[in-house]
Amino acid sequence: MSGCLCAKTSTANASSLNILSGLAVVPSPALYPPSRSERNAWVKSLRGARNVVNTDRPYAFTLDHEPNASGEVVPIATIFLTNKECPFRCVMCDLWQNTLEEKILTGQIPKQIEYALDRLPEARQVKLYNSGSFFDPAAIPVEDYEVIAARVRHFERVIVECHPVFLGDRCRRFRDLCSGQLEVAIGLESAHEPTLSRLNKGMDLKQFERAATFLKKENVALRVFLLIQPPFLSLEESSIWLRHSINYALEHGSTAISLIPTRAGNGAMERLGSNGDFRPPTLGTIEESLDWAIGLQKGRVFADLWDLKKFPNCPQCFDRRRDRLKSMNLSQTIIQRVNCGCGSDPNERDINESEPSPGLE
């Protein structure tokens, strides 16, 4: 679940947003279809096969650590639930690879949670990520809410993900069943409205703002996913817009922000890459993004380090730089950059220019 928007956060911001939106790279119309239905079909046509998944098991589960709102580092059980594919067709999404074509039976999601929790060490928070929207009734059966909430009642915080269109009564109902604080993650992706629209998320900034207001009113915490270097923007614009997006998410009440390096791997992104509409971020760009966001000291910001090695990097210093990012995620402080003699410096742009990007191979 990732998303997008652009907006009227302040007069100054609005004016700079308008100027910047005029600079955005416009994808070749011949390559990327203009309408939502054509884009849906285009995205689907470029896909490979799904992975084989088991309806009684989550497709993955792991123990993570994050600082909570008070800065205390806490263990988090993260469970990736197997369920029906999300109804949206975001151009950058690869989460469909571990989903089903049909609705899961009542009782299978609680079984999956049980399976993961039986095997994970003790944790204080739980993330129930379902490659879509937790409150989409075609994804998580509503009849399972009570059992799920009972199974996760000992966690201080329950974090789920959801597209704004599925927020409403079902979210309220699940919140009432949970003993811990409910947090909903929304994929905003970018606050650059034209890019958000091109991502094919079926969401605009107004919808995001309404969702943020709803969550605040209902005492549900908000987490936001933002893309580092989404398609359709130049490298310079991506960096500027990521900063706007971080500020925008914070201004709309986000209590945590996850920065997701945009990756290839779903067919559509490779096609956009071959047309010059997408280039995966380098490790240096990921570092710059987190450094800037943590430097703000306005809220918790994390870099998603999943599959980090796939992004253009320097093999000599990769491990040290990954460890630095991990430490920064935990401490929420800026740690001195790794000084590598291989010329990695703050980013790999030179490396990128001399070698093909691993993410596009």
- Binding region for Zn ion (CB under 5 A): 314, 316-317, 340, 342, 344
Residue 316 contact, options ligand SF4, Zn ion, none, Cβ 5-8 Å cut-off depending on partner type:
Zn ion
Q: Find the binder of ligand SF4 among 77, 95, 167, 314 (CB under 6 A).
A: 95
Q: Kindly give the interhelix angle for 283-296 and 318-331, rounded to the nearest 10 degrees.
A: 20
Q: Find the binder of ligand SF4 among 27, 58, 110, 132 (CB under 6 A).
A: 132
| Shortest spacing between CB 278 and Zn ion, in angstroms | 25
Q: Find the binder of ligand SF4 among 39, 84, 127, 163 (CB under 6 A).
A: 163
Question: Closer to ligand SF4 at the Cβ: 2 or 254?
Answer: 2
Question: Closer to Zn ion at the Cβ: 205 or 317?
Answer: 317
Segment lying near ligand SF4 (by CB under 6 A), choices 81-89, 235-243, 272-280, 316-324 = 81-89
Chain residues 172-211 in contact with ligand SF4, contact rule CB under 6 A:
187, 201
Segment lying near ligand SF4 (by CB under 6 A), choices 13-21, 85-93, 295-303, 352-360 = 85-93
Helix (DSSP H) and strand (DSSP E) numbers for the chain: 12, 8
Distances in Å between the Cα of 62 and the Cα atoms of 1, 76, 128, 247 are 18, 8, 11, 30
DSSP string, 263-323: ---SSHHHHHHHTTS--PPPHHHHHHHHHHHHHH-SSEEEE--TTGGGSS--TTTHHHHHH
**Contact between 184 and 127 (Cβ < 8 Å):** no
| Shortest spacing between CB 348 and Zn ion, in angstroms | 9
| Shortest spacing between CB 266 and ligand SF4, in angstroms | 9
Residue 90 touching ligand SF4 (CB under 6 A): yes
Q: Kindly give the interhelix angle for 283-296 and 235-251, rounded to the nearest 10 degrees.
A: 30
Residue 93 contact, options Zn ion, ligand SF4, none, Cβ 5-8 Å cut-off depending on partner type:
ligand SF4
Torsion of Cα atoms, 183 then 180 then 66 then 247, to 10°: 30
Residue 86 contact, options ligand SF4, Zn ion, none, Cβ 5-8 Å cut-off depending on partner type:
ligand SF4
**Contact between 6 and 197 (Cβ < 8 Å):** no
Cα of 136 vs its chain's centroid, Å = 18
Residue 317 contact, options ligand SF4, Zn ion, none, Cβ 5-8 Å cut-off depending on partner type:
Zn ion
Q: Find the binder of ligand SF4 among 78, 112, 131, 357 (CB under 6 A).
A: 131
Q: Residue 158: exposed, middle, or buried by beta-carbon count in 10 A (0-12, 13-18, 19+)?
A: buried
Question: Closer to ligand SF4 at the Cβ: 110 or 187?
Answer: 187
Segment lying near ligand SF4 (by CB under 6 A), choices 5-13, 65-73, 83-91, 110-118 = 83-91
Strand-pairing partners, residue 24, are none
Residue 207 contact, options Zn ion, ligand SF4, none, Cβ 5-8 Å cut-off depending on partner type:
none
Size of the site for ligand SF4 (CB under 6 A): 13
| Shortest spacing between CB 131 and ligand SF4, in angstroms | 5
Half-sphere exposure of 80 (CA within 13 A, CB side): 16
Report how far residue 176's alpha carbon sits from residue 146's, in angstroms, rounded to the nearest whole number. Answer: 10
- Closest of 126, 21, 14 to residue 81, by C-alpha: 126
Which residues in this chain contact ligand SF4 in the complex, by CB under 6 A? 1-2, 86, 88-90, 93, 95, 131-132, 163, 187, 201
